[in-house]
Every structure is written in C-alpha cells, then in structure tokens.
Amino acid sequence: MKKLLATLTPAESKRLIARGILATDMVQNALKNGYLCITMGTTSAYIAEELLGEYDKTRHIAGIVVPKGLAVTDGTKRFTDAIFHKGEYMENTKVMDILDELGPNDVIIKSANALDEDYVPIVLLAHDTAGTVGVFLGPVAARNIKLIVAVGLEKSIPVAYSEFCGQFGKSDWDYAIGTPVGAIALHEGIAFTEIEALEVLFDVQSIPIAAGGVNGAEGSITLFIEGGDEETARAYEFLVDLKGEEPFPKVEHVK
C-alpha cells in the first residue's frame, strides 16, 4: 500500500467531486438511459460545467454564503436547473417540469450547506416552501429516485442535525446577520465528498486529517490517501494536475 498526502482548496475539491460523481455507474446510467437533474448550488455548477463546457457557474446558484452572511441571488440572473434526458441537455427546464416522469433509474444532484457528524447532508432554506428541495424530496422518497448530495468536507460540522432540528425556522430569529433561514437534513440523499470521489475514480481510501489555511487555502481540506501502487500513483498525478483550479468566480448578483 502507498500513502499520499494532499491538500485541496474548496475549488479543487468541487472539481474533484464533480468528476467523481460523473464517473459513478448511477450517473452514467441516468445520462445514457434516463434523466440527470443538476439542481442549483456551487458544487453542482461544476458538474454542469463538466458536461456543457463553457458555463457561467455564478448563475447556477440560488442560496449563497458570502462575507456579509447568508444570502440569495437575484432570481432574474439565474439559469434553470441543468436537466439532461438520455444525454441531451434540456434548455430552460426545471426539476419540477419533469418530476412526474422520474423513477428509480433517474438521478437528482443537489449541493448541500453542511455535513453533520453522522455524515448527513443539510440544506439551509430561505424559501417559505423550501424551494427546489421542497419540490422533489417527497417524490424522491416515494418513488426511490436517486438523490446524490455533492458536499465538500470543508462543510463538515461537529454536531448532529438532531441537536438543532426544530429549534428554528426562517421566521424565528430575533436577530440575523444575513438572510434568515430554516434547515433540513437530506436523509434520503447519498453524501458525496472528496472521499467518495477518490474512491470512485482511483479505488483509494481517504481520511481528512486537517482543515483550513491562509493565502487562498481558506476552507481547504488535507487528506491522508492510501491505496495500491498503481491506484495511488494515478491519484497523485490527477491531484497534481488539479492543483491551481481557479477559485469560484465572484458572484455579483447577490440580493
């Protein structure tokens, strides 16, 4: 077994996660035979870009976290969800438009705001009816539609969702520096982080051993990666090439 040490910035992690998700059998099958639905989110935007080529990732966001706090983008400046049917891109289409057609062989991809200590992804909700999540979560559970939640390890929190579930909704705050929100756990979703991406792409195992940094490494994650000789070497070459991924572009259309 070979050991590999690597530090990834948030942008590098998002690119890695995007490529890992697209390499899964589940997503490849959906692209070939069914629907792949890429809903709003920063990590999701990288997946759409991988499939579409040149793509304005800043317009694939609804809720956003910026220095002033939680916020939302201007709805008039957003793209719709990126929906693909049998590999063909369906322009100006949202999940809600094709939701009745989705089943067990179809995939919805959603970005998350947090990953709790039990590896459960969490999404913050600024919309009164939970936005896109509120639209698809019931059908996902009822019809076994596959839900992949793209979330970087930088979003890990040291508490369980149960510790704050039911403690607040978007109208419960006495003070809020930023947009008031509620929160929901996506128990039906498959959390997909850098760990899963590296396993899918290279059949190596990863453990996060440090987080954070400065000089552009804020939010970074440092990984201990281990695998066979050939697998680890391929992971190393991939990650060396991944280094230098540009930070997520500045989002100007923040409300």
From the first residue on, what is the mean pLDDT of each consecutive set of 10 residues in the chain (255 residues)?
98 98 98 97 98 96 96 95 97 95 97 98 93 93 97 98 96 96 96 98 98 97 98 98 96 93
pTM: 0.96
pLDDT reported for residue 200? 98
Q: Where are the alpha helices (DSSP H) in the chain?
A: 10-22, 25-33, 42-52, 95-98, 131-143, 194-202, 229-242
pLDDT reported for residue 26? 98
What is the rounded CA–CA span in Å between residue 128 and residue 97? 20
Q: What is the SS3 assignment for 161?
A: helix
Domains of the chain in start order, with CATH, are: 11-193 (3.40.50)
What is the rounded CA–CA span in Å between residue 162 and residue 52? 38
E strand or H helix at 36: strand 35-38
pLDDT reported for residue 36? 98
pLDDT reported for residue 156? 98
Instruction: Count CB neighbours of 138 within 10 A.
Output: 11
pLDDT reported for residue 99? 96
pLDDT reported for residue 114? 98
The DSSP 8-state label assigned to residue 247 in this structure reads: P
